[in-house]
Amino acid sequence: MQYGMIIDLERCVGCHACTIACRAEWEVPVPYQRNWVKRLGPTMTDDGMASTYYPGLCNHCDKPPCVDECPAEPVEMTFTDYKTGKTKTMEVAATWKDPFDGSVQVDKERCLGCGACADACPYGARYVNPDLADDNSEGKVDKCTYCKPRVEAGLTPACVQTCIADARIFGDLADPNSEVSQYVKKGAKGLEPKGGHLGTNSRYYGNKKDMGLLFADYTPKMADMGSVKRRAMMASMVKPAMRKAKDMGILGLAGVMLVKGLSDNEDSK
Amino acid sequence: MAFNLTRRKFLQTASLAAAAVPLSKVVSATTGVTKAPLVAKGTNGDKTVVGGICEMCFWRCQLVGKVRDGRLMKLEGNPKSIDNGTAICARGNAGVQLLYDVDRLKYPMKNVGERGAPKWKRISWQEALDECGSKLKSTVDQYGAQGICVFPHGASAKYPMHYFERAVGTHNVSEASFFQCRGIRDTAYVATIGKAPGEKVDMPNTKVLFFIGDHLGENIHVSHIKAYIQGLQNGAKLIVADPRFSASAAKADIWVQIKPGTDTAYMLAIMNYLVKNNKYDKAFVENHTEGFEEFSAAISEWTLEKAAKECDITAEQIKEVAEMLAANAPNVAIHPGRHVSWHGNDFQRQRALACLTGILGAYYVKGGWVPAKGPKVGGVSWAKEDHGHKYNLNYNHEEDAKVYPYNPPGTPTELIRDCAISGKPYPIKSCVVWGQNPMQTIPGQEKMKDLFRAMDFIMCVDVMPTDVTMWADILLPESSYLERYDFIKTGTQWDLSKEHQQYISARMPLVPAMFERKDQIYITNEIAKRMGHEAKIPVKTIEEMVDQNLATAELSIEKLKAEDGIHIQPGKDPYGIPEDFMVRLFNEDIEDAGHPGAPTYKPVPQPPKGFARLLYGRAPVHTFNRSQNNVWLHNAMPDNPVWLNDQVAANLGLIDGDVVGFVNSDGVESRTTTTVKVTPGIRKDCVYMYHGYGSANPLLTIGVGAGVDDQSLITNLAIDPETGCNGMRNNFVKLIKDGKVLDIPA
């Protein structure tokens, strides 16, 4: 099974219902977001005047660059396929790709809030929620889960349920008969980054003009993994130290600022 | 700054409800260590409450609420709905943030400062109602019922509006939804086909969609969008006439980049072409129209070439559109529009739309204009009384005729304002504002202030401290659409080709009203008692009103609740033209009233040198000026960038994101600034921005000063001569950058 989502740009009217429903469902605080809608154009393209939308969300990549960068202490976790009851045990950090449904998930209990995964994502699909700060972190990373808890309860993702134009289609890309697979056969494509292939599972379908505009404007670059790794490394070193320092009550203002500076999320400025 | 404001506001809003204690602050008493944060649970386990009817806009989708520990967490479309289904738009979803907006009105307030610069003092309902009752009564005693003017809007304003019109007896009621919006459309169609058209085009089953300025996609009404998208998916061609590459133009097969104000000339040329080339529906014209001869003679001057010149488009494109319509007639959807008070020549344009539909034979046929057959419910309200014409400002006593013969219900706004400000022909001394924000719905803000300055008493009822509330003497907090009963929504399935079904649903509260907010029945009845109209009160409570209205359909609130909020019953086939249906292509009554009997184009004023025409429209995440303070919606579209043609921008040295203000041709400057959106998708002679931004009331802590208030720049008060409605697109602006006024190149 590989969960995937199609955004049909021929249907999408750019109304933002998806983004607001997501806020309500998952208590996503302003100004952060699990998903977004950007309006493109109007601009002149080779195919004429064009304007369309970029409704973005986590791509739940086949090779998610975010997962590898998590500096949290790996632990053994047992995953269950909610459909068959099958289990699989793997060693994972605080974020992983689910072995059964292919979605990329986060364990907020163990997240250090360092933001390395957010930096590693070329799409900006993750944010650190500072409201969820605790003694282990300056916040917790949050992202689209493809509404895994809703889906496993038999519902559709909140964004899909509220889409006024039925422009969002959710399903199993591993099933060739699924509606999402039919869209892929018709030409639905993911926004793969320049110089990389991540295996994006959120994909776009539209006419040549609109797809051309979307891919011209929003094909991302791969993240600078050097700086991501430095941040992850610093987080793995500093966080336990901060925890210890706080317990001892000796962390001064300068120390707090150092830690804060290291874990600042540039995307959220 | 905007970020900080938004952020603080969000936290305030969140903490209003008990469930939202910041979890990171929950510290274990024993260890002193903060427990790791809890993951948001999602709403699947929450209690579902049925009966919501949205009023973030006026399409009114059917909702359910997800309630956790007494707090409304989320709104969703009612799964039983055959209208919006489980879908609701961004605004609908953000209703939660209106409900818990910390800026909402909470208690009755008295202005102990100045009008326009208020200082608010909390008072009791008793005191507030006594004050409203005695002041309004004193106006009636001294000046007569006509001494009260009313500016209502929305579902909750209907009952009080009827009270003041019917029981008290004033004609001086002006609804923005008519006089600054769709009233012209309705009366023009009534004068042509005998019915208001709504937006009843059978889009899912049409072959061609024809839009004049409709910008579906920026203008969002859920089931309407569903119908539109279904039509496109089914292969319909889309023709969009708009000076701007709108959301609809972006999906169009033909974009007609028409010069603003010339739409009527465009349609006259299409119709003339169809007539001259025998491409109209002769059988329909024979059986269902009147005045074809006069009509075709009157429009015969409109050759393709003449219209091409006037509209600044090509004759070939007009012909292409006409041919496309003719080839697909009668299965063509000529959209009647919605907000149509544009240029002061709008009645004639709306007549042209209705006539074009007629000569294409596109009434009551698949894909044409088809009124669905909905169910009937009651309409209990104040009993109608005849108050005569004596104090009707829209009545010319010397000529024994109306001043504006095709006015929508109520009295044209400018007649009321002119009378109130001048005191002639009689004094108007009290003003009731209920759910409307006339400062931002009606053009001419200084004139509106002059009206308020002339009043002895002003009361406002609203949920939010909108700009107009700054002028109130008494300000009353109303329960929102999520906290009260009232509106009954009826209709049919949106795709007329599907199984014919009807639905009836009534608004029911999803959560109880907080603070001291009250519903419109309570407030109106209490004022009526104090004005001596207790005996005329039609219902004691809002539940009683809803139950009586439902009883017509053999339903009740209890029955609806048992049916998950929506009653569904078999419907009727809407297709098939009534035998006596007539399209008055030439209408001699209009001519008798002194206006052209055939649709006629009247040119509109052009921008003075150095100015561009100011156009405005809808943002998909906002409803007029009602939602800019909503933290979620504000975050989605915090301001209203001004669309500027790329060549004009290059000439002015402006780039995307530059911050600009405005000055109009009357010398009025915008209070705030916005950013420039540089695009080839707008004509050079106009600029465009979303309507409703730039509120002036500091009590709107998020919406205040966000973006530019387009209405503040609309000071040229064009009047549509047949209807008395305002035209708001004959206003011209220059941009101001860094204090320097920039001339727009011709």
What type of residue is B178?
F
Distance CA B557, CA A69 (A): 56
- Residue A110: closest CA among chain B residues belongs to which residue? B36
Q: Measured on CA atoms in the order B402, B404, B405, B410, is the torsion positive or negative?
A: negative
CB nearest A162 (choices: B37, B86, B637): B86
Helix (H, G, I), strand (E, B) or coil at B476: strand
Q: Say what the pLDDT of residue A265 is.
A: 41
**Comparing C-alpha atoms, which of B736, B615, B619 is closest to residue B686?**
B615
Q: Which string of b and e fits A74-99 if b means at least 16 CB within 10 Å?
A: eeeeebeeeeeeeeeeeebbbbbbbb
- As a whole number of angstroms, the distance between CA B576 and CA A241 comes to 79
pLDDT at A235: 79
Q: What pLDDT does A240 receive?
A: 52
Residue with tokens 């009203």: B513
Interface of A with B in 197-216 (CB under 8 A): 210
Which tens digit of pLDDT belongs to each residue from A168-193? Answer: 999 999 999 999 999 999 999 999 99
B24:A134 CB<8 A: yes
Q: What is the pLDDT of residue B281?
A: 98
B34 to chain A, minimum CA–CA distance in Å?
Answer: 6
* Confidence grade of residue B210 (pLDDT, cut at 50, 70, 90): very high
Mean pLDDT, chain A, as a whole number? 89
Among B178, B154, B493, smallest CA distance to B338 is for B178
Distances in Å between the Cα of B36 and the Cα atoms of A107, A134, B31, B238, B397 are 11, 6, 13, 54, 77
For testing contact with chain A, the best of B39, B215, B631, B677 (most A CBs within 10 A): B39
pLDDT > 70 fraction of chain B, expressed in percent and rounded? 95
Q: pLDDT tens for residues B211-239?
A: 999 999 999 999 999 999 999 999 999 99
For residue B506, pLDDT over 80 is answered with yes
Confidence of residue B189 (pLDDT cuts 50, 70, 90): very high
Residues of B in contact with A52 (CB under 8 A): 250
Q: Which amino acid is at B221?
A: H
pLDDT at B588: 98
Q: What is the ipTM of this complex?
A: 0.94
Contact B305, B272 (CB under 8 A): no
Burial-class residue B112 by CB neighbours within 10 Å (0-12, 13-18, 19+). Answer: exposed
- Which ranges constitute the DSSP H helices of B576-710? 588-592, 631-636, 646-652
Mutate which: A27, A28, A30, vs B, most B CBs within 10 A: A30
CB B168 within 8 A of CB B336: no
Q: Smallest CA–CA separation between B347 and chain A, in Å?
A: 30
- Indicate the residue of A28, A41, A52 with minimum beta-carbon distance to B679: A41
In chain A, the N- to C-terminal Cα span, in Å, equals: 37
Contact A164 B225 (CB under 8 A): yes
pLDDT of B28 over the 80 cut: no
Q: Provide the pLDDT confidence category of residue A239 given band limits of 50, 70 and 90.
A: low
- B265's CB contacts (< 8 A; 6+ apart) are B302, B306, B307, B310, B311, B601
- Alpha helices, DSSP H, located in chain A: 17-26, 116-120, 148-152, 158-162, 179-186, 208-218, 225-248, 253-263
What are the structure tokens assigned to B587, written together? 């209408």
Q: Would you state the pLDDT for residue B24?
A: 37
pLDDT in tens, B257-306: 999 999 999 999 999 999 999 999 999 999 999 999 999 999 999 999 99
User: Residue A227's pLDDT is what?
Assistant: 82
Mean pLDDT of chain B: 95
Q: How many CB pairs under 8 A join A and B?
A: 168
Q: With an 8 Å Cβ cutoff, are B37 and A133 in contact? A: yes
Whether residue B34 and residue A27 make contact (CB cut-off 8 A), yes or no, is no
What's the pLDDT at A250? 39
pLDDT band at residue B37 using 50, 70 and 90 as cut-offs: very low
Nearest to A135 among B34, B44, B681 (CB): B34
The Cα–Cα gap between B288 and B692 comes to: 42
Decide if pLDDT at A21 tops 90.
yes
Note the pLDDT of residue B727. Answer: 97
Answer whether A35 touches B (CB < 8 Å). Answer: no
| pLDDT mean over B327-356 | 98
Query: Which residue ranges form the domains of chain B, and what is each CATH number?
Result: 1-40 (no CATH), 41-100+480-513+563-571 (2.20.25.90), 109-171+387-478+517-538 (3.40.50.740), 182-373 (3.40.228.10), 612-742 (2.40.40.20)
B562 DSSP 8-state letter: H
**HSE (CB half, 13 Å, CA atoms) of B728?**
26
Question: Which residues in B187-202 are b (16+ Cβ under 10 Å) and which e?
Answer: bbbebbbeebbbbbbb
What is residue B27's predicted lDDT score, i.e. its pLDDT? 39
Query: Which chain A residues are within 8 Å of B44, Cβ to Cβ?
Result: 149-150, 153, 155
C-alpha–C-alpha distance, residues A150 and A156, integer Å: 6
Residue in this structure with the two tokens 């010069």, named with its chain if needed = B259
Q: Do B245 and A31 touch (CB under 8 A)?
A: no
- % of chain A surpassing 90 pLDDT: 79
Domain boundaries, chain A: 3-218
In this prediction, residue B39 has a pLDDT band, given cuts at 50, 70 and 90, of confident
- CATH entry, A3-218, from 3.30.70.20, 3.30.70.100, 3.40.50.10440, 3.30.450.40: 3.30.70.20
Q: Distance (Å) from the C-alpha of residue B353 to the closest C-alpha of chain A?
A: 25
Segment B462-473 mean pLDDT: 98
Determine what percent of chain B is predicted with pLDDT higher than 90: 95
Whether the predicted pLDDT of B9 surpasses 70: no
DSSP state of B507: -
* pLDDT greater than 80 at residue A241: no
Q: Do B681 and A41 touch (CB under 8 A)?
A: yes
Chain A residue with CA closest to B23: the answer is A132
H or E stretch including B66?
strand B62-68
C-beta atoms of A29 and B86 within 8 A: no
pLDDT at B674 over 50: yes
CB contact under 8 A, A10 and B233: yes
pTM (predicted TM-score): 0.93
pLDDT at B23 over 70: no
